[in-house]
Amino acid sequence: MQKTAVAHLFLSMLFLAVFPLAAPAEESVDTDRLRNEMVETQILGRGLTQPRVIEAMRKVPRHLFVPESWRAQAYEDHPLPIGMGQTISQPFIVAFMAAALDLKPDDKVLEVGTGSGYAAAVLAEIAGSVYTIEILEPLAEKARVLLAELGYERVYVKTGDGYLGWPEEAPFDAMIVSCAPDKIPGTLLEQLAEGGRIIIPVGEAGGVQKLVKGIRQQGRLSITEAMNVRFVPMIHAPAAPSVSPSVGE
């Protein structure tokens, strides 16, 4: 080999050692761009403008909360499978439900249906603390590990029956339910603080459900309907009490 060729090879190796290929950085920049585009088109473009919700949606790395095989679609306008028959909701629905709760920085929030942990991370960027329950242990454990790795110290994950709530930590200022019961569980109402807000899909499994918002006033829920949605069914104890979501009650 000629001396000039050897010199060029040595210089090339030295360049790679000092200036390594920047594939991870390029991927990070790309996901940042996709996340900002998601916010602009899917969130702001549909009229949601709450500053702290928008900031949270821009910040939380949604692609880390979906399986690697689906990450190319993480910022698209639809739900994605996360395993065990469960899904991560489309970005707009997560933002809409968070905005509907009118969260304050010191609010204590209960989430039923942890799933991937994405909504819990969004809520943690807005509220004071988040207590989230997942009935499927593998999903709960995976979310717990990821949320801890991302530094969400004020998110507490519990494996259990969300229909029963988290009585040891009640009352809660707000509740968000990411799975659909046929009626609003009375156990959740009991754990909602006076003036507290709940947003929850209600309806039959496999069909179109109503996303409703309730505010606890003098021990009862004053309910308004938001939109038609499709959520996975809520797995619960059949014997638990419930209340019907009568509009304007």
Q: With contact defined as beta carbons under 8 Å apart, do 220 and 246 qualify?
A: no
106/168 Cα distance (integer angstroms): 19
Side chain identity at residue 70, one-letter code? W
Angle CA 162–166–172, to nearest 5: 110
Cβ within 8 Å of residue 222, ≥6 positions away? 214, 215, 216, 248, 249
75/120 Cα distance (integer angstroms): 17
63/160 Cα distance (integer angstroms): 26
Cβ neighbour number for residue 40 with a 10 Å cutoff: 12
Check 69, 89, 129, 244 and give the catalytic one: 89
Q: Which of 60, 16, 38, 20 is nearest to 155 (CA)?
A: 60
28/185 Cα distance (integer angstroms): 41
| Residue 28 among the catalytic residues | no
187/112 Cα distance (integer angstroms): 12
Q: Where are the beta strands (DSSP E) in 138-235?
A: 155-159, 172-177, 184-185, 192-202, 209-217, 220-229
* Residues belonging to the active site: 89
